[in-house]
Amino acid sequence: MTPILRFAPSPTGRLHLGNVRTAIVNWLFARKSGGRLMLRIDDTDLERSTAAHAAAIETDLAWLGLDWDLFARQSDRFDRYAEAADRLRAAGRLYPCFETPEELELKRKLALSRGRPPIYDRAALKLTPREIQDRMAAGERPTWRFKLERGTVAWDDMVRGPVEIHAESMSDPVLIKADSQPLYTLSSVVDDVEFAVTHIIRGEDHVANTAVQSQLFEALGAAPPTFGHFSLIADASGGKLSKRTGSISLENLRDDGIEPMSILSLLAKLGTSDPIEIHTGIAQLIQEFEIGKFGRSQPKLDVVELEHLNAKLMHLLPFEDVAARLPAGATAEFWDAVRGNLLRLGDALQWWDVIEGAVTPVVADPEFLALAAQHLPDGKLDGSSWGTWTGAVKAATGRKGRELFLPLRLALTGVDHGPELARLLPLIGRERALRRLEGHAA
Ligand code: GLU
């Protein structure tokens, strides 16, 4: 049986770290198992969903390098949900409720004040067919609730192991709103049945949904798929992932220069027994993926970790992989000189300017620099020039260490830190170096 998975975002905003993780895990599962992945746009909420967000989700996934084999948009499928609702009604599993939101809130408060869980009391089940007819005829529009079967819902969760939930602890969920809009609980199951989804992997915030949806699968005549619920990410502080961290969008990260492989390397492993390390290619992540490696404890996420991974990635990427994104004219020698000093690819520009652009030399001791200039080796500078040069300047001045190197760096690059000068010097070249040692912007 070919596994069929789905990633089902609601297009009410940009993809963020939380739902990107779900996308990555489902994608890796599909690719590892030779299965198929569906991208399903959960846009039944027509007020909050936008076509622009749906399009951005596709762009973001493509940028990450995640593809999909099947595609569905829930707003194209309202007739399917209506048909399923009819079947549930005919089976006596969907019943109309006329309580207003205010009445329901009052019931909730009352239950809580009596120390009872705020579970819907099924008062609507006591309405006679006549009463229902009259209220409908009078123009009242009911919500429709799914009648849960009493008893325990149990499944063997791919991450959490055996899970049991008592249906008595849950309210009969509303599947259809008063304005006839089907809710996610229903549309999701209808699609999972119709597209023969075999594995649903999502966050543990969906565990209660799974209990309800398992009954819904059965009510619609289908066996529930295999479920896996991974632990949600916590902030570095250990608390629940804050809105701020949790809502960091892929777009923000991309604008910030974080590479897809840094994000994939982190999110593929977060919460698993594997170490989090930079991977330069997605193939290895597929190879190492196993849903059983996900644990139950809450993984912590510090966005700084993404920057560390990104810096490591810069270090490892060969010139061919980045050439197209470097300034025109940049060579492999340039890349080798600077990549160890980059947090993000865009930082290379600063060093390209040091080589090709006008640097404002920082000159504290012009006499020393004038002397140093006299010792700069003749001819074309190469990898050994820096050593030869500083050796000569040291012998001539008695300076060593920082006292020797820092004034040269400040004059040649305008800043007190950066890539090895042994590599930069040949790129800067003799003439430009001499001008900078004289204090001229060059
Ligand atoms: N649209 C739902 C969400 O984003 C999908 C949940 C699911 O995987 O079933 O939460």
pLDDT, averaged across the chain? 96
d(CA 173, CA 186): 10
Nearest atom in ligand 1 to 188's CA: 9
Residue 235: per-residue pLDDT: 74
Residue 340: per-residue pLDDT: 96
Residue 179: per-residue pLDDT: 94
CA of 211 to the centre of ligand 1 (A): 14
Six-digit token string for 393: 């300047």
Residue 241: per-residue pLDDT: 62
4-72+187-233 with 358-437: one CATH topology?
A: no
| Probe target for ligand 1 pocket from 25, 74, 184, 190, with the most ligand atoms within 8 Å of CB | 184
pLDDT at 139 over 90: yes
- Residue-wise burial string across 348-386, b where 16 or more C-beta atoms lie within 10 A, e elsewhere: beebbebbbeebebbbeeeebbeebbebbbeeebeeebb
pLDDT at 14 over 70: yes
Going by pLDDT thresholds of 50, 70 and 90, the confidence category of residue 302 is: confident
Whether 217 contacts 193, CB under 8 Å: yes
User: Which residue ranges make up each domain of the chain?
Assistant: 4-72+187-233, 80-176, 246-320, 358-437
Global pTM reads 0.92
pLDDT at 246 over 90: no
Share of the chain above pLDDT 70, in %: 98
pLDDT digits (tens, 9 = 90+) for 303-356: 899 999 999 999 999 999 999 999 999 999 999 999 999 999 999 999 999 999
**CA-closest residue to ligand 1 atom 3:** 9
Nearest atom in ligand 1 to 7's CA: 8
The H-or-E segment that residue 28 falls in is: helix 17-33
Mean pLDDT of 178-190: 97
pLDDT at 402 over 60: yes
pLDDT digits (tens, 9 = 90+) for 355-383: 998 999 999 999 999 999 999 999 999 99
Which CATH code fits 246-320? 1.10.1160.10
Whether 23 contacts 29, CB under 8 Å: no
Assess if CATH 3.10.150.10 describes domain 358-437: no
Going by pLDDT thresholds of 50, 70 and 90, the confidence category of residue 242 is: low
pLDDT digits (tens, 9 = 90+) for 405-417: 999 999 999 999 9
pLDDT at 192 over 90: yes
- Architecture label for domain 4-72+187-233: 3-Layer(aba) Sandwich (3.40)
d(CA 244, CA 237): 13
CA of 13 to the centre of ligand 1 (A): 13
Going by pLDDT thresholds of 50, 70 and 90, the confidence category of residue 272 is: very high
CA of 9 to the centre of ligand 1 (A): 6
d(CA 308, CA 380): 37
CA of 83 to the centre of ligand 1 (A): 21
Mean pLDDT of 80-86: 98
Report the topology of domain 80-176: Glutamyl-tRNA Synthetase; domain 3 (3.90.800)
Residue 9 Cβ contacting ligand 1 at under 6 Å:
yes
Going by pLDDT thresholds of 50, 70 and 90, the confidence category of residue 234 is: confident
- Residue-wise burial string across 78-102, b where 16 or more C-beta atoms lie within 10 A, e elsewhere: eebbeebbeebeeeebbbbbbbeee
Question: What value, to the nearest 5°, has the Cα angle with vertex 181 and ends 48 and 14?
Answer: 20
